[in-house]
Homo-oligomer: A and B are copies of this chain.
Amino acid sequence: MAIVLGPNRYGKAEVRVARVTRTTATDHELCDLDVSVSLSGDLADTHLRGDNARVVPTDTMRAVVYAFAQDRPLPAIEEFGLRLARHFVDAHASIDTARVRLLEYPWVRIAGTHGPHPHAWTRAAGVRRAGVVRGPEGVEVCSGLADVSVLKSTGSEFHGFSTDRYTTLAPTRDRILATTVRAGWRHRRDGAAPADWDASFRAARDTLLRTFAETHSLSLQQTLYTMGEAVLAEQEHLAEVRLTLPNHHHVEVDLSPFGQPNPGEVYQVTDRPYGLIEGTVRRGDAAPALADLPWE
């Protein structure tokens, strides 16, 4: 049977751009982004014959990211991604789908002698993310975060699980629960976009953290579901939340050989292996996500 070209796409990944907005000569805003663009469409000619007439060079994608980064005012990353995706689909007849993935690194103002400094920052933890796809089936946007590590030192149990001949794990009524949150939430295509992308992001982030902290956990799966549900309950325009939660195991160290009891005080922090809990919480009536949405 014939060998054929299957699904394909190409783009420029990890375009690093810092955008300074000079409100006055010394009073600035800073936006620090990592933008990846990926396009697909009628690209058989370059794959099969090396004919590049329909290929927009990835170098051009890089240039567009930089040129559009000068938009005034620089919008939220979701809106910036929408502008970029629209440009590529509109400007090139051979391209039917554009995917844009954006990371934003948070910076906070350094505390100066007279308050927050007007043009000096230090990096804060965590990454804000957004993904946009524009294609024949429509336009879809997800927001999210990554690299947000959280830990609870009590209020987490794990017992009553299925056992078999390979079970050695002891049930526990009190353990450390620690994870690094990777979350994405998808905005409804049939509804209005949030009036304020930034406020929507902050609300979702704060809810995820607060819910992690305040949920008495019987399993990391339960915590995951509760976190996702809380975000959806607060923001009507969201259709679905995806969470990826590695379980960073903290093991109570056996200090009894040294004559020391260890009542939940000293823990070994392990690297590998780790549990990995992945799940989705969604509205029952939400349309499925577009296949090309860059959640990752």
Contacts and interface: CB of A to CB of B under 8 A. Distances in A.
B58 A213 contact: no
Number of copies: 4
A269 B48 CA distance: 28
A18 interface: yes
Contacts of A11: 275-276
Contacts of A50: 217-219, 222
B125 A264 contact: no
A47 B155 contact: no
Given A11-B276, A30-B153, A48-B225, 15 more contacts: A3-B282, A3-B283, A4-B283, A13-B276, A17-B253, A18-B250, A48-B222, A56-B162, A58-B247, A58-B276, A60-B166, A67-B258, A110-B210, A112-B214, A124-B125
A260 B160 CA distance: 26
Interface of A: 1-22, 25-26, 28, 30, 32, 36, 38, 43, 46-60, 62-64, 66-67, 69-70, 91-92, 94, 107, 110-113, 117, 119-125, 148-155, 158-169, 176, 206, 209-210, 212-214, 217-222, 224-225, 229, 232-233, 240, 246-247, 250, 253, 255, 257-258, 260, 262-286
